[in-house]
């Protein structure tokens, strides 16, 4: 998730705490699957793009260079997942979900390349470890709104996808009765208005 400025309880408490976290997550997934309704032909869409984020020098001044950040959005029926690079803050995820047209939207950080922490402008004003200059934090104020807007735009794009995926074949035991898999649609690469590449499914 977007956990750049939050940690689960006991995050640095050793392997025992990590095991407890994994077991709790496993149990939550099991409960969700037990009541999940399967859509046999969901609408599926994927978009990927890049945006340029400004960086700063140790004293906070703009260094005139930009980092390329890759991001993506995946639609699975009435749900969507936004993929962000680096370590976005929880406020970023909440803002993306609030504007998402989907019934359920998940926001995943640490995808694609790393760009370090992505503090909100409010976090820069407050200070703290995540905003202190270092290899872990080189982005300038104003970067988070750029990334957030780009992510929200991708979600709007996949929301416009209206073609259902191929209907799933019923499960039949035995290799002789398995339906042949549908041919995968290749990714077509287009160019965004900002000159970045965008992949579509």
What is the secondary structure of 23-43 as a DSSP string? HHHHHHHHHHHHTPPPPSS-B
pTM: 0.75
Q: Do the Cβ atoms of 46 and 158 come closer than 8 Å? A: yes
Decide if 169 is inside a domain. no
- The reply to whether 24 falls in a domain is no
Which strand (E) or helix (H) includes residue 156?
helix 143-159
Query: Of 179 and 152, which is predicted with more confidence?
Result: 152
Q: How far apart are CA 1 and CA 87, in angstroms?
A: 9
34-43, 72-81, 99-108, 171-180: which range is least confident on average? 171-180
Residue 197 counted as domain residue: no
Domains identified in the chain, total number:
1
Q: How far apart are CA 188 and CA 191, in angstroms?
A: 10
For residue 57, being part of any structural domain is answered with yes
How confident is residue 168, by pLDDT bands cut at 50, 70 and 90?
A: very low
Contacts of 68 (CB under 8 A, 6+ apart): 50, 51, 52, 53, 113, 196
- The reply to whether 74 falls in a domain is yes
Our CA angle for 100, 105, 109, nearest 5°, is 110
The mean pLDDT value of the chain amounts to 82
> Where in the sequence is the domain holding 43, given as residue range(s)?
39-160
Evaluate whether residue 182 is within a structural domain.
no
**Given this model, what pLDDT does residue 172 score?**
37
Q: What angle do CA 60, 72, 200 make, to 5 degrees?
A: 135
In a domain, 97, yes or no: yes
Asked if residue 21 belongs to a domain, the reply is no
**H or E element in which residue 150 lies:** helix 143-159
d(CA 23, CA 17): 10
Residue written as tokens 């416009």?
A: 160
Distances (CA, A) of 57 to 73, 137, 167: 31, 10, 53
């Amino acid at each position: 998730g977007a956990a750049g400025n939050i940690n689960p309880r006991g995050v640095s408490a050793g392997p025992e705490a990590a095991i407890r976290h994994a077991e709790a997550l496993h149990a939550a997934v099991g409960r969700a699957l037990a009541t999940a309704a399967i859509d046999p032909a969901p609408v599926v869409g994927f978009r990927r793009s890049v945006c340029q984020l400004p960086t700063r020098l140790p004293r906070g001044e703009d260094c005139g260079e930009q980092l390329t950040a890759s991001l993506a959005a995946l639609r699975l029926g009435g749900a969507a997942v936004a993929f962000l690079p680096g370590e976005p803050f929880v406020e970023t995820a909440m803002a993306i979900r609030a504007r998402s047209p989907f019934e359920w939207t998940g926001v995943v950080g640490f995808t694609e390349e790393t760009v370090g922490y992505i503090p909100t402008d409010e976090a820069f004003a407050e200070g703290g470890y995540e905003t202190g200059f270092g290899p872990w934090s080189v982005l300038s104020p104003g970067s988070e709104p750029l990334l957030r807007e780009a992510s929200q735009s991708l979600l709007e794009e996949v929301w416009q996808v209206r073609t259902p995926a191929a209907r799933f074949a019923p499960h039949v035991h035995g290799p002789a009765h398995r339906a042949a898999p549908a041919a995968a649609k290749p990714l077509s690469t287009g160019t965004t208005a900002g000159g970045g590449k965008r992949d579509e499914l």
